[in-house]
Structure 1
Amino acid sequence: MTDHSSEVSPAGQVRRHTVLIIGGGAAGISVAASLLKRRSSLDVAIIEPAEEHYYQPGWTMVGGGVFTPEVTRRPMREVMPDAVTWHASRAEHIDAEARLVRLESGESVAYERLVVAPGLVCDWSAIEGLEEALGQNGVTSNYRYDLAPYTWSLVQSLEKGKALFTQPPMPIKCAGAPQKAMYLACDHWRREQRLNDIDVSFCNAGGVLFGVADYVPALQRYIERYDIETAFGHRLVAVDGPSRTARFAVSDKDGEREEERGFDMLHVVPPQKAPAFIAQSQLSNEAGWLDLDPATLQHRAYADIFGLGDASGTANAKTAAAVRKQTPVVAENLLASLDDTPLTAAYLGYGSCPLTVERGRIVLAEFGYDGVLQPTFPRWLNDGTRPTRLAWWLKASLLPWIYWNGMLKGREWLVRPARRD
């Protein structure tokens, strides 16, 4: 296998690449592989400091006792395409006018085309006391590799008491993940005949159970089945681990107030934001996310920059499934821009959220911009608005294999781009 380690350039020398990609997560690796499938001679480089690559959609299953954590992690060198130059550092600044990216190492890297795909930032410090509380005193989160096993440990050990599951303001990656953790926990407690002794609350900063109304009836049935309290307008602001109390800012018809709740188990989803080098740059929109054309995924102001994944300001769900659909759009349109031909590939906002409502059944939510349903399968095979065993098999068995052996290898199964008029 090719040695991807980046050589340090001599002082003052700038490394140059035809295509430079920021981020070695699902989006960055996938788009690099797809570009090289189309044009194997292309000079492609990736900026990525991490030595490990994670299949993050699997962490829900780790927290539910279905996967072991190890199956969701591989060395970065194993997923990096062979022909790619790997700059093992962090991007600190993009100079879009000069076509330069400055790295944490002090180097600068020049590009002809830039793909921005660094993912987002989980802002654990935004909740007072949370960072100190995580991993002990019943406080956990499936949004971290090292904590998802603790979630399963808590689910197994809790016999009675109060379980809180929180959801911060949108946007977050995988908007259904806060509920997935809750439903799998409740299903385990039901099977163990403990659910009647455990009070479960879903403390959601938003005002609805799920953002696409077509899927709410199926989810509501599970809310009722597990006797879950839905506390909308509840935003977690502080955690005290030793006293096992959580403080919420509550917004309702009576105005705003604060409320404290005790817990025996607390599953937290942190607020999320774009990386600072995007949010504080000329590349961001008003909310701090990468300002892209929603169809072409080309930057609105800089034609030589494209983006995809969780840092994007497009109005789609932030999921790995969205990246699968975005990847060929970026690959086709970037090469078209290099060839000075029209950008014809279009992304319609597809995202997927396999909602694990119980062990063995999933509500497979698939939708695009404006909540328009975009099912992969005909309704007779899988009705995405109700829980099915087929969707569980896809989530538990097929999708991880597709991720490692298809998506990260540039194999674009069932993701043909739409076409612009």
Structure 2
Amino acid sequence: MVASPSPHNEPIAGRHRVAVIGGGSAGISVAARLRRAGVTDITLVEPSDSHWYQPLWTLVGGGQAPLRSTRRPEASVIPDGVRWIRRHALAVDPDARTVALSGGAEIGYEYLVMAPGLQLDWAAVPGLAQAVGHDRVCSNYAPQYAPRTWELVRGLRSGTAVFTHPATPVKCGGAPQKIAYLAADHWRRQKVLDRIRVILVVPDEVLFKVPEWARVLEQVTDRYGIEVRLRSEMTAVDGDRREVVLTDHANGTAETVPYDLLHAVPPQSAPDWVKSSPLADPASPLGFVAADRHTLRHPRYPEVFALGDVANLPTSKTGAAVRKQAPVVAANLLAAMGGEGPTHRYDGYTSCPLVTGRDRMLLAEFDYDLKPSPTFPLIDTFKERRDMWVLKRYVLPQVYWRGMLTGRL
């Protein structure tokens, strides 16, 4: 049995023991763990009726998975006993311990879990919002555009393909370059790669921040003949002319590049209402929520915890990170309910499954110190492996739906 959404005409008021903002992987995982621990009166605020397994969108764009396999009804993943309010959160007052919702409603809380995710800022790049989904512009970062990526990759036989990464934190930091490798591998197998100029635009000084995997990825880009633009980003798109402006921050120059395929990843930030809230970290120009990097507790409001993409933590924003953060938040929130201090610590673990070809993958796992933290210590994850690709395509989705979202893993 699953929870039913509150009808929009139902009065929503009162103070709840725990309010969870966001029904994605982070919010659902914490709610499930709290319910398993016997916590009652949990309210979850989530406006969407769809729950997406986003890590597979790269494979959707690479022609290796159908989009329908990444979606389930939101109602099917909400833990039994958790009240679902299907509205937008609009503001939070941590002093009054209230959350304002769309439709003029308001709820109060004793404890608050902030997990609303982040927003895709398509309009932050001039011309991108108008071009994406048209004009040979695609993006695996939204379900409505990911299938188009494969259409464009499959149809391209010559020309220039550009793959971009913004200079902001993004969901799954490896995804912007994974699709470049999948596309290049497809073109190589179709014997047209030598007729296609592939440009990969990366904002950092290196392909990957962990040196052990950066060296392997450099070999991958060399193998495909990919032109890597480091310390660069997309700064404008002209869909009508099919041109993208690439700015090199190393020397300040901007180049207009004609494209036949553009896979664009938009800048990303905290939702606007979070940016303007007292919970936002003053040190974060993108408005992410302040949280102790180990306990995930807010530094000024001890009854508030944050995890997932919205938390201002010095680690990559991935589903694997959420899998390690959720138990910490649940345990420390339970300790707080019992009048105790935090009992669990998060070490910054995150994982980037770096797909490098149709059936090969690197599994990059590391912590806050960028130290490799392998889940499978007997397996050499510094090599491209087929078994790791199988793990991503078939095993991890089941772990997600059956283990992580139910609070078992």
- Give me the TM-score of the superposition, normalised by structure 1: 0.94
Answer whether contact 2:307 2:326 (CA < 8 A) is retained. Answer: yes
Answer whether contact 1:9 1:107 (CA < 8 A) is retained. Answer: no
- Residue 225 of structure 1 aligns to a residue whose secondary structure is helix
Q: Deviation digits for residues 112-138 of structure 1, max 9, x if unmatched?
A: 100000000110010111111111221
Amino acid at match of 1:407: M
Pick one of 217, 220, 223 that aligns with 2:218.
Answer: 220
Query: CA shift at 1:2, angstroms?
Result: 4.1
- CA distance in 2 between counterparts of 1:244 and 1:237 reads 14
Q: Provide the residue aligned with 2:293 in structure 1.
A: 294
- Residue 397 of structure 1 aligns to a residue whose secondary structure is helix
- CA distance in 1 between counterparts of 2:274 and 2:399 reads 30
Q: Provide the residue aligned with 1:268 in structure 2.
A: 264
User: Quick check: 190-199 or 274-283, which moved more?
Assistant: 274-283
- CA distance in 2 between counterparts of 1:348 and 1:320 reads 15
Structure 1 position 52 matched with structure 2 position 50:
yes
Query: CA shift at 1:304, angstroms?
Result: 0.2
Q: Provide the residue aligned with 2:274 in structure 1.
A: 278
Alignment of 1:21-420 (within 5 A): 21-39=20-38, 41-252=39-250, 255-285=251-281, 286-287=283-284, 288-378=287-377, 380=378, 382-412=379-409
Q: Provide the residue aligned with 1:6 in structure 2.
A: 6
- Residue 273 of structure 2 aligns to a residue whose secondary structure is helix
Amino acid at match of 1:116: M
User: Quick check: 285-294 or 382-391, which moved more?
Assistant: 382-391
Amino acid at match of 2:298: H
Query: CA shift at 1:247, angstroms?
Result: 1.1
Query: CA shift at 1:308, angstroms?
Result: 0.5
- Residue 167 of structure 1 aligns to a residue whose secondary structure is coil
- Residue 151 of structure 1 aligns to a residue whose secondary structure is helix
- Residue 238 of structure 1 aligns to a residue whose secondary structure is strand
Q: Deviation digits for residues 305-346 of structure 1, max 9, x if unmatched?
A: 001000000111100000000010001000100011231111
- CA distance in 2 between counterparts of 1:34 and 1:383 reads 32
CA gap of 1:224–1:94, structure 2 versus 1, over 3 A, is same
User: Quick check: 322-331 or 232-241, which moved more?
Assistant: 232-241
- CA distance in 2 between counterparts of 1:405 and 1:25 reads 15
- CA distance in 1 between counterparts of 2:390 and 2:304 reads 38
Query: CA shift at 1:205, angstroms?
Result: 2.3
Answer whether contact 1:6 1:86 (CA < 8 A) is retained. Answer: yes
CA gap of 1:250–1:16, structure 2 versus 1, over 3 A, is same
Amino acid at match of 1:284: A
- CA distance in 1 between counterparts of 2:194 and 2:10 reads 66
Query: CA shift at 1:15, angstroms?
Result: 2.4
- CA distance in 2 between counterparts of 1:350 and 1:2 reads 31
Amino acid at match of 1:50: S
- Residue 199 of structure 1 aligns to a residue whose secondary structure is strand
- CA distance in 2 between counterparts of 1:197 and 1:307 reads 47
- CA distance in 2 between counterparts of 1:195 and 1:30 reads 42
- Residue 18 of structure 1 aligns to a residue whose secondary structure is strand
- Residue 80 of structure 2 aligns to a residue whose secondary structure is coil
Q: Provide the residue aligned with 1:416 in structure 2.
A: none
User: Quick check: 239-248 or 87-96, which moved more?
Assistant: 239-248
* RMSD of aligned residue pairs (Cα, Å): 1.3
Answer whether contact 1:348 1:368 (CA < 8 A) is retained. Answer: yes
Aligned residues: 406
CA gap of 1:32–1:202, structure 2 versus 1, over 3 A, is same
- CA distance in 2 between counterparts of 1:245 and 1:10 reads 50
Q: Deviation digits for residues 389-414 of structure 1, max 9, x if unmatched?
A: 221111011000111111111112xx
Amino acid at match of 1:4: S
Instruction: Kindly report structure 1 stretches of 4+ aligned residues shifted beyond 6 Å.
Output: none
Q: Deviation digits for residues 194-214 of structure 1, max 9, x if unmatched?
A: 111111011122221011111
- Residue 369 of structure 1 aligns to a residue whose secondary structure is coil
- CA distance in 2 between counterparts of 1:291 and 1:202 reads 32
Q: Deviation digits for residues 142-183 of structure 1, max 9, x if unmatched?
A: 001011111001111100110000011131111100110000
Structure 1 gaps of 5+ residues are 413-421
- CA distance in 1 between counterparts of 2:385 and 2:320 reads 19
Answer whether contact 2:136 2:152 (CA < 8 A) is retained. Answer: yes
- Residue 17 of structure 2 aligns to a residue whose secondary structure is strand
- CA distance in 1 between counterparts of 2:225 and 2:310 reads 36
- CA distance in 1 between counterparts of 2:126 and 2:140 reads 19
- CA distance in 2 between counterparts of 1:9 and 1:21 reads 21
- Give me the TM-score of the superposition, normalised by structure 2: 0.97
Structure 2 gaps of 5+ residues are none
Answer whether contact 2:2 2:78 (CA < 8 A) is retained. Answer: no
- CA distance in 2 between counterparts of 1:406 and 1:184 reads 28
